[in-house]
A and B are shown apart, each in its own frame.
Chain A
Amino acid sequence: MTKTARMLWLAMSCLVVAGIVLAPAAGAQGTVTVLCSPNVVWCDVIKEEFPKATGINLEYIRLSSGEGLARLRAERANPTFDVWFGGTGDPHLVAFTEGLTEFYRPSSWDDLVPAFRQVTGETYLPLYAGILGWAVNDQLLASMGLPVPLTWKDLTNPIYRNLVAMPNPNTSGTGYTMLATILQIYGEDEGWRILRDLHFNIAQYTRAGAEPGLLAGRGEVAIGVTFMHDALNQAIQGFPVSVRAPADGTGFEIGGLSLVRNGPNREGAIRFIEWALSPEAQVLAAQRGDSYQLPTNVNTPLHEQAPRFDEVRVIPYDFAHWGDPEVRDAVVSRWTSEIYPLPKPRN
């Protein structure tokens, strides 16, 4: 055998042995494992602050709400996660109805905004609320000599061809919230027509709900349909976007917090839920987490720029109907089969 071949064998064995020896010790006891769906910066903040407050270690993984639900379903028999933190409420509701998560009544239950807690009932816990809106790149619109759109209907105007971005409702809770909002404002017939006309103006369907704001910020599109707090984040980071809400009404989401059924560390999970709903923890989102949603604990001080419900025309969003998994499936499938694949007229 040649020398090179022998050296190759040696090198390969060293590699494997070193890799196995260097493996860190398996996760210490007393670690809470969190499925984290909001902005990753916020996730980093809770990872840093929760151990300081309680002495319990925290590990998280960032998955958007659709992916998170898929993951919980796949791991039904042996969940990895203790808590599901954040993300649109609908998947939290689906997870609850499928028995993947269970209800836990926190000690701060009475401090939670009553309107939100009535919506969620005894299913999942309201963590924050966000209002659907637009991130509008005024510079781009001005340079093209186009007016700023005011309503959902304005967005379907052919002058905005290839200038609008929205999240794909297949992966993003934000995208579904937008479909449900338009259908609630305009009713079935006109709502679907608006969605179809809007399709011709869409430059991109994005995977995550915050991405359209990013595209608008970078000037790839002029208008990105996204939650107002995400748009605000882009504006605060320095992108040339303004945060706007459609004048003909807009919907909102309630971000969820759920206790995973049969998770590995139930006590730690409960400690985490208690902490996450406290004002001290909730204020961190806007302070350090780049997340400007409305906190659900009434004692939490608000960020001065955070979008508020009394400043925009928020529709009475029917969570009972539109949050129903069957309705959701039907709406998303109809959109996916009738609108998403439509070729755009060439002009």
Chain B
Amino acid sequence: MSVRPVAQLSEYGAAAQGRAGSAFWWGLIILAGGLLLPWSRQGVNVLAYDAARTGLRLAFEAWPIAAALALAGVLVVLGRPAFPTRAAGRAMLAVSAAGAAVTIGHLLTRNEPFGLGAVVVFLGFLSVAGMSLSYGGLLRVEPFAGAAILWLAAFIAVFILYPLWAMLVTSVWVRDRFTLDVFRQTLRSPTFFLFENPWTELSERRLALWVGLASGLVALAWQVVLHRTELGQNWRRIALWTVTGAASGYCLSALYTGFGALRNSVLLALSVGLVSTALGLSFALLAQRSRFPIRSLMGPISTLSMITPPFVLGLSMIYMFGRQGFITNQILGLSTNAFYGPLGVGVAQVLAFTPLAYLVLTGVVRSLDPAMEEAAQTLRASRWRLFHTVTWPLLRPGVANAFLLCVIESLADFGNPLILGGGVPFLPTEVFFAIEGRFNQNEAAVYGVILLFMTVGVFALQHYWIGRASYVTVTGKPTGGNPSPLPGVLEYPMTAAFVLWTLLGFMLYASVFFGSFVKLWGFNNTFTLEHYEALRTSGIGVFLDTARLAAIASVPSALVGFLLAYVVGRLRFPGRSLLEFTSMLSFAVPGTVMGIGYVLAFNSGALRLTGTELIIVLAFVFRNMPVGIRSGLAALQQIDRSLEEASTTLRASNVTTLRRILFPLLVPAVISGLMFSFVRAMTAISQVIFLVTPSTNLATVLILSWVGHGSIGRGAALSCVLIAAMAVVVLVLNVVLHRTGRRAGPAATL
């Protein structure tokens, strides 16, 4: 361990001589917070001040508080030198770990809801412990990074892992006994998967076997032809391909002919993922380099469909495509309810998730370096060849991310299957029915675990696909030139798709708008303002509350996401991939499971949070943060490390590099992260439906309950208010985003 990291050396230069170390200041913060702020609270207001519960009063009654304060005093003494020796670092680590342990022990034994003081004390000790890991030479990162890693790990453990754990424990322990019966029952139930269709002559099992065999043979033949010169060396590869081919053929056939929630959800997720990613990519490419003058419309229009609560879109789709639908019946003259089921859900999800893919991909497309394409053009590459060999490989990581996001979103979405599913089982709705209908948390947890496994599978695929290739295009060196136009073969279908998309979206919005101004949508089309007047008594207050909570939550979502992307993408430390995986977990787990987990985990004891606004904010933050991480990671992958190395060589610390080099480069990514988490929070439903209380109700829950009980006009009116307000926010942020992109100059265009 004689080699010290370069970054740490730089610290000596950066800090002025004689300045006190960070541990000293943290010690003071702990002392102040522990003495002056309440350690516990009574009501639901987390920020409430209660003089009788401060450390000043309690220190003489409760020895752990006194001990924690004493330990903080020790830290103040130990932390004086700006650059502690390794021994001092280890001593501080021991002291702060003891302090954190004492604090937690006190909270747990007291079993009273925590107060602000306890939070300050615990986080203070955590920060010092993180920094000491670095001072003591146990973690080869800078002190700041050590503290950041510990903070992130603690938050993820408490707000993602602990609720899931509580959920699993509550379910696997049936009447104080461990049992796996529920797993067996659920996996065997025909609701989950039904192979043989009793109404067909042929055996679906046998069909799947034949298809599997055939595709295995095709894969074998293909690989043998491919490696015909050196068969002996490649036998492993050939065998692998054959087995994979056979297995995927079998699975696809089984999924295609089978029935049940598993089949519906997997087929749906795959097709929605493919279509949404393709559309999102097309729109992103069109927005950047189309010859048609529609590019300025693109952002706002495709973002607009995202700001609609999903079930409202579903409702207006019923009016358009249902049995009595405007298009299906009035225009096409059909009487069918084929739209209910996977088709309708698929269309609704594609409409909802394409903007997600667009948002992920637009940053990537914008940061493509035109110089590379110009180089290819200079070498006389055709437009198609240019796209195929230069543009596409650069886009691939972004495409993989977008596909991953859409598949996971589709697997976890429960609003659309509930409204448009027509009673066909899907995995997320089964979770919902198991919890809310059959009150069977065991079964819900089983479905949750299955969804989790699928997510892990998708992750593995993505890693395999992107591989280790480097796609650095932001080099800090000036680039020039204009992006080349798309080949016509691609451009015309893309534009057609965009026009269709726009028309559909416009129609749906017009229909919601129309529905909010008439007495009875579709039956009594007399103009009225009564729905909006009714909002004044019960809708508008809830709407303002929702907006406030979503706004508060968007800031930590974006910042924590950004910090996590940096920590995971740029630092090397043990447990890095674990941190990345667990941070994405809350996104993959269906919202309903997460919501129930929150209620179970935070309903009693020291961590009691139910009934507070904070728990809703936290649910939003940890649910929406992964989007920030993903877009942050995608953007970071395109920034050359030499920029940071240059900064480090000039003796800037990690914090300075992060603040002055990476953050300004990532401003557009952070802004779109803010916007996105705000919008997602405003339209969220599944994870918060269990957390709302009468004093903290949310607009989406209110709309769903109105719509479910036939007050469609009122629901439409509140949806219109919601959509209009979010449209304003999104448009303003889009303008800001556009202008920042320009101001940042050619050297750092993102």
Report A's interface with B, CB cutoff 8 A. 1-5, 8, 12, 15-16, 18-20, 22-24, 26-27, 33-34, 39-41, 44, 47-48, 59-64, 66-67, 69-71, 73-75, 77-78, 80, 144, 162, 168-172, 202-208, 210-211, 213-214, 217-221, 233-234, 237-240, 329, 332-333, 336-338, 340-346
Question: Chain A contacts of B694 at CB under 8 A?
Answer: 33-34, 59-61, 80
Partner of B522, one of A62, A67, A162, A218: A218
Partner of B422, one of A15, A204, A346: A204
Question: Chain A contacts of B692 at CB under 8 A?
Answer: 61
* Given A5-B664, A332-B438, A237 and B520 contact (CB-CB distance below 8 Å): yes
A336 pairs with B522, CB closer than 8 A: no
B197 pairs with A210, CB closer than 8 A: no
Report B's interface with A, CB cutoff 8 A. 43-45, 47-48, 189-191, 194, 197-199, 259-260, 318, 322-324, 335, 337, 340, 418, 422-423, 425, 433, 435-439, 519-520, 522-524, 537-538, 545, 548-549, 551-552, 554-555, 558-559, 596, 599-600, 603-604, 608, 610-611, 613, 659-660, 663-664, 667, 670-671, 674, 689-690, 692-695, 697, 702, 705-706, 708-711, 740, 743-744
Question: Chain A contacts of B659 at CB under 8 A?
Answer: 1
Q: Report Cα–Cα, A337/B599, bound state, in Å.
A: 28
Question: Chain B contacts of A206 at CB under 8 A?
Answer: 423
Question: Chain A contacts of B438 at CB under 8 A?
Answer: 170, 329, 332-333, 336
Known: A47-B538, A75-B599, A205-B422. 18 other contacts (CB 8 A): A12-B559, A26-B48, A59-B694, A59-B695, A62-B709, A70-B436, A75-B610, A77-B604, A78-B603, A170-B433, A172-B437, A204-B337, A207-B418, A207-B708, A239-B523, A340-B425, A341-B191, A346-B199
Chain B: which residue is nearest A143 at the CB level? B335
Question: Chain B contacts of A59 at CB under 8 A?
Answer: 694-695
Question: Chain A contacts of B709 at CB under 8 A?
Answer: 39-41, 62, 208, 210
* Given A70-B435, A220-B337, A1 and B660 contact (CB-CB distance below 8 Å): yes
- Measured CB to CB, the closest approach of chain B to A209, in angstroms, equals 10
Partner of B697, one of A61, A205, A336, A346: A61
| Residue from B558, B596, B709 having most chain A Cβ neighbours under 10 A | B709
Question: Chain A contacts of B337 at CB under 8 A?
Answer: 162, 203-204, 220-221
Please list 12 pairs of residues, one from A and one from B, whose beta carbons are closer than 8 Å in the complex, sorted by A's number.
A1-B663, A8-B671, A26-B43, A61-B694, A66-B439, A74-B603, A204-B340, A219-B323, A220-B337, A238-B520, A341-B259, A343-B194
A343 pairs with B433, CB closer than 8 A: no
B552 pairs with A16, CB closer than 8 A: yes
Question: Chain B contacts of A343 at CB under 8 A?
Answer: 194, 197-199, 259
| Residue from B554, B670, B693 having most chain A Cβ neighbours under 10 A | B693
Question: Chain A contacts of B611 at CB under 8 A?
Answer: 78, 80
Partner of A238, one of B189, B423, B519, B705: B519
B436 pairs with A171, CB closer than 8 A: yes
B708 pairs with A240, CB closer than 8 A: no
Q: Report Cα–Cα, A210/B324, bound state, in Å.
A: 19
**Nearest 6 A/B pairs, CB to CB:** A170-B437, A205-B423, A59-B694, A19-B552, A219-B324, A341-B190
A40 pairs with B706, CB closer than 8 A: yes
| Residue from B423, B600, B674, B695 having most chain A Cβ neighbours under 10 A | B423
- Measured CB to CB, the closest approach of chain A to B264, in angstroms, equals 11
Partner of A74, one of B199, B259, B600: B600
- Measured CB to CB, the closest approach of chain A to B569, in angstroms, equals 19
- Measured CB to CB, the closest approach of chain A to B679, in angstroms, equals 15
Q: Report Cα–Cα, A74/B692, bound state, in Å.
A: 13
A23 pairs with B191, CB closer than 8 A: no
Question: Chain B contacts of A77 at CB under 8 A?
Answer: 603-604
Question: Chain B contacts of A238 at CB under 8 A?
Answer: 519-520, 523-524
Question: Chain A contacts of B520 at CB under 8 A?
Answer: 237-239
Question: Chain B contacts of A64 at CB under 8 A?
Answer: 708
Q: Report Cα–Cα, A343/B425, bound state, in Å.
A: 11
B552 pairs with A80, CB closer than 8 A: no
- Measured CB to CB, the closest approach of chain B to A165, in angstroms, equals 9
Question: Chain A contacts of B260 at CB under 8 A?
Answer: 341
Q: Report Cα–Cα, A221/B335, bound state, in Å.
A: 10
Q: Report Cα–Cα, A221/B199, bound state, in Å.
A: 25
Partner of B322, one of A168, A207, A220, A345: A220
Question: Chain A contacts of B664 at CB under 8 A?
Answer: 1-2, 4-5
Q: Report Cα–Cα, A74/B234, bound state, in Å.
A: 57
Question: Chain B contacts of A8 at CB under 8 A?
Answer: 667, 670-671
Partner of B194, one of A220, A341, A346: A341
B548 pairs with A337, CB closer than 8 A: no
Q: Report Cα–Cα, A170/B335, bound state, in Å.
A: 29
A62 pairs with B744, CB closer than 8 A: no
Q: Report Cα–Cα, A77/B170, bound state, in Å.
A: 14
Partner of B604, one of A39, A78, A144, A338: A78
Q: Report Cα–Cα, A207/B704, bound state, in Å.
A: 11
Chain A: which residue is nearest B550 at the CB level? A19
- Measured CB to CB, the closest approach of chain B to A161, in angstroms, equals 10
Question: Chain A contacts of B519 at CB under 8 A?
Answer: 238
Q: Report Cα–Cα, A3/B660, bound state, in Å.
A: 11
* Given A61-B692, A341-B425, A343-B199, A15 and B603 contact (CB-CB distance below 8 Å): no
Q: Report Cα–Cα, A237/B520, bound state, in Å.
A: 8
* Given A5-B667, A204-B423, A240-B523, A220 and B744 contact (CB-CB distance below 8 Å): no
B259 pairs with A336, CB closer than 8 A: no
Q: Report Cα–Cα, A329/B744, bound state, in Å.
A: 63
Chain A: which residue is nearest B549 at the CB level? A19
Partner of A15, one of B190, B259, B437, B554: B554
B436 pairs with A27, CB closer than 8 A: no
- Measured CB to CB, the closest approach of chain B to A241, in angstroms, equals 11
